[in-house]
A = this chain, B = another copy of it.
């Protein structure tokens, strides 16, 4: 049996890992038990690396290990770019073996897997889909999750094309999916999401063609949140679900907001995680929330419920991902009185176009 714990901690900047350091120093967290860190970093994309480096340095010192050993042990998923009321923070997951006990219900469990290194020409292709699917299945086994309906959130960090990688592919006579890096990145994220969908039976193997990626929007996962980074060479997969093999005091649930105004979808997520409420979440139930992960999809759309928006057309269109995150963070944040919750952008096969995926981790009552 496993015990999984969750610590959501604020950061004063991308370089601030002091709150975790304190928990380690006062014995609350044993760094050897840390199995993943998921951060919402402010600043630009470089702040992700900056933040990860600071975690590595601090943990390397606390654990008396090399930075390489730390980063091998602990996958760090840095979700960059904050806006609006989003509050920079990170969630630390710990996991330890405990003696088998009688359990009455499934509890939070994590599976963490890495695919093999992908070749640049494989980014955004069926090959990536299959590799991610395999990693998700392995992660389910690792997490002790048998039923796909017990998987509520799958975070995937996958590689981006870069000039050097295109050159590498070209030097071997290979073709990449697109030399437009934005398009190629979208396809990498899309392939990762389809990999989750395939593993969870949300789509079938024959759906998965190169042509379908970032094209057939009827294919999607309801629990995938994927992002791409230049620093990645393989796909990092974190599966979160509920398992009989866990004695965690936490449970996870999820729901789909069919559009950004669909608060009922968010309520479904909180209820699925075990919160008890009718229309409004009362304070005692809010207090049970450990954290919330949202995958934002508003940037896929130029309108909502028949109302035209300027998300994709105005002079801030270059930042539409940030703004999509800011608005969903505000809406869900207003439901629970707290905006220190994670929002990730990326609509590619992550739910139906324009939807938002909400996963909530809450204390079991």
Q: Give residues of chain A (59-110) contacting chain B, Cβ–Cβ below 8 Å.
A: 82-88
Q: Which residues of B contact A263 (CB under 8 A)?
A: 334
Output the least CB separation between A353 and chain B (Å): 13
Pick the interface stretch among A26-34, A149-157, A199-207, A308-316. Answer: A308-316
Output the least CB separation between A345 and chain B (Å): 13
Q: In the docked arrangement, what's the CA distance between A10 and B330, Å? A: 24
Complex partner residue of A12 from B10, B279, B308, B324, CB under 8 angstroms: B308
Output the least CB separation between A10 and chain B (Å): 7
Complex partner residue of A88 from B87, B308, B338, B340, CB under 8 angstroms: B308
Output the least CB separation between A258 and chain B (Å): 12
Q: Which residues of B contact A237 (CB under 8 A)?
A: none
Query: Can you list the 10 inter-chain pairs with the closest CB atoms, starting with the nearest?
Result: A318-B318, A50-B50, A87-B307, A327-B330, A279-B279, A43-B46, A84-B327, A42-B310, A331-B334, A307-B340
User: B298 contacts A84, CB within 8 Å?
Assistant: yes
User: B339 contacts A261, CB within 8 Å?
Assistant: yes
User: A316 contacts B310, CB within 8 Å?
Assistant: no
User: B163 contacts A327, CB within 8 Å?
Assistant: no
Q: In the docked arrangement, what's the CA distance between A180 and B263, Å? A: 30
Output the least CB separation between A223 and chain B (Å): 22
Q: In the docked arrangement, what's the CA distance between A188 and B122, Å? A: 31
Q: Chain B residue with minimal CB distance to A67?
A: B57
Q: Chain B residue with minimal CB distance to A11?
A: B308
Q: In the docked arrangement, what's the CA distance between A324 and B323, Å? A: 11
Does A167 belong to the interface (CB within 8 Å)?
no
Complex partner residue of A309 from B46, B84, B302, CB under 8 angstroms: B84
User: B14 contacts A309, CB within 8 Å?
Assistant: no
Q: In the docked arrangement, what's the CA distance between A324 and B330, Å? A: 10
Output the least CB separation between A265 and chain B (Å): 11
Q: Which residues of B contact A163 (CB under 8 A)?
A: 302
Q: Chain B residue with minimal CB distance to A261?
A: B334
User: A49 contacts B46, CB within 8 Å?
Assistant: no
Q: Which residues of B contact A326 (CB under 8 A)?
A: 84, 323, 326-327, 330
**Quick one: given A46-B47, A327-B326, A327-B330, are A85 and B318 in contact (CB under 8 Å)?**
no
Digitize A328-341: 1 where CB-to-B-CB distance is under 8 Å, 0 elsewhere: 11110110011110
Does A170 belong to the interface (CB within 8 Å)?
no
User: A339 contacts B309, CB within 8 Å?
Assistant: yes
Q: Which residues of B contact A43 (CB under 8 A)?
A: 43-47, 314-315
Output the least CB separation between A206 and chain B (Å): 25
Complex partner residue of A50 from B46, B86, B88, B318, CB under 8 angstroms: B46
Does A194 belong to the interface (CB within 8 Å)?
no
Output the least CB separation between A277 and chain B (Å): 10
User: A323 contacts B50, CB within 8 Å?
Assistant: no
Could you write out 27 A-B pairs with CB less than 8 Å apart? Answer: A15-B46, A15-B50, A42-B310, A43-B43, A44-B47, A44-B314, A83-B314, A83-B323, A84-B298, A84-B309, A84-B311, A84-B323, A85-B304, A85-B311, A88-B310, A163-B302, A261-B333, A263-B334, A304-B339, A305-B339, A307-B339, A315-B315, A316-B322, A323-B326, A326-B326, A327-B327, A328-B330
